[in-house]
Structure 1
Amino acid sequence: MKTKLENVKPKEIETRSFEIITEELGDKKLQPGTELIVKRCIHTSADFDYADNLYFSKDAVPKAIEAIKHGACIVTDTQMVKAGINKKALAKFGGEVYCFMSDEDVAKNAKSAGSTRAAASMEKAAKLGKPVIFAIGNAPTALVRLYELIQEKQIQPYLIIGVPVGFVNVVQSKEMIMETDVPCIVAKGRKGGSNIAACICNALLYMIDNERDYWK
Structure 2
Amino acid sequence: MTEKLEQVLPENIEKRSFEIISQELGERSFDPLEEPVIKRCIHTSADFDYADTLVFSPGAVRRALEAVRSGALIVTDTNMGKAGVNKKVLASFGGEAVCFMADPDVAKAAKEEGTTRAVASMKKAAALAEETDRPLILAVGNAPTALVEICALLDQGKIDPALVIGVPVGFVNVVAAKEMLLEKDVPSIVARGRKGGSNIAAAICNAILYMARDGVE
When normalised by structure 1's length, the TM-score is 0.95
2:143 equivalent in structure 1: 139
Equivalent residue number for residue 187 of structure 1: 191
CA separation in 2, counterparts of 1:76 and 1:24?
31
Whether 2:46 is the aligned partner of 1:46: answer: yes
Rounded to whole Å, the distance in 2 between the matches of 1:75 and 1:3 is: 41
Does residue 170 in structure 1 map to residue 174 in structure 2?
yes
Output the CA distance in 1 between the equivalents of 2:175 and 2:29: 25
Q: Return closer, same or farther for 1:124/1:25 CA change in 2, 3 Å cut-off.
A: same
Tell me the secondary structure at the aligned position of residue 124 of structure 2: helix
CA distance in 1, matches of 2:2, 2:84: 36
Q: How many residues matched?
A: 212
The C-alpha deviation readout for 1:36-85, integer Å capped at 9, x for no partner, is 11000000000000000000000000010001101111001000000000
Alignment correspondent of 2:7: 7
1:18-53: CA deviations, max 9, x gaps? 000000000122233211110000000000000000
- Please list every run of 5 or more consecutive structure 1 residues that lacks an aligned counterpart in the other structure: none
**CA RMSD of superposed structures (Å):** 1.5
- Tell me, in whole angstroms, the C-alpha distance in 1 between the residues paired with 2:98 and 2:2: 48
| Cα gap change, 1:173 to 1:2, in 2 (>3 Å) | closer
Equivalent residue number for residue 16 of structure 1: 16
Q: Percent identity?
A: 64
Runs of 4 or more, structure 1, over 3 Å off, are none
What amino acid sits opposite 1:9 in the alignment? L
Which residue does 2:101 correspond to in 1? 101
Secondary structure of 1:118's partner? helix
1:4-153 → structure 2 map (5 Å cutoff): 4-128=4-128, 129=131, 130-153=134-157
Classify the secondary structure of the residue corresponding to 2:127. Answer: coil
CA pair 3-191 structure 1, distance change in 2 beyond 3 A: closer
Q: Distance in 2 between matches of 1:4 and 1:63?
A: 43
